[in-house]
Amino acid sequence: MKVTQSAVLDDAREAEARKLGAALARLRIARGMKQEQTALRAGLSRNTAYRLERGDAGVAIGQVLRYLDAIVPGKTLLELLSGTDPALAALSAKEQRRRASALSKRELDEIDF
């Protein structure tokens, strides 16, 4: 009988799997790679890459490690979860909202026509 992982895992473990998948997806995006391209480099199908990034707990750990190695060769799973990759820092800085400040009187006069 086929057993799905979601049926046998508790909520905390499912959340961990989703967190791992989200971290892999974010790292891939930060590195500017497409999911299909990354799956091909890892020797996986695009469907497996999709399931992996969605946090499907049924994906084998070997596939997770191959996918990570395809994104950043030599990076360990612990390094991924620590979030110390420079590409992640650059992506976070890019995503931060910039507050708009009010224009000064001089700036308003310059654009007034």
- Kindly report the backbone phi and psi dihedral angles of residue 22, in degrees, each rounded to the nearest multiple of 5, phi listed first: -65, -35
Tokens of 78: 């612990």
CA 40 to CA 32: how far, in whole Å?
15
CA 102 to CA 90: how far, in whole Å?
27
**Average pLDDT per consecutive 10 residues, the chain (113 residues; last block may be shorter):** 63 91 93 94 95 93 94 90 85 76 77 70
Q: Are 81 and 22 in contact (CB under 8 A)?
A: no
3-state secondary structure of 4: coil
Tokens of 77: 């799973």
**What residue spans define the domains of the chain?**
5-85
Look at residue 90 in the predicted model and tell me its pLDDT. Answer: 85
Which fold would CATH assign to domain 5-85? 434 Repressor (Amino-terminal Domain) (1.10.260)
Look at residue 2 in the predicted model and tell me its pLDDT. Answer: 52
Distances (CA, A) of 104 to 101, 107, 109: 9, 5, 9
What is the maximum span of the chain, computed from C-alpha positions, in angstroms? 76
Look at residue 85 in the predicted model and tell me its pLDDT. Answer: 85
Look at residue 5 in the predicted model and tell me its pLDDT. Answer: 62
CA 89 to CA 109: how far, in whole Å?
38
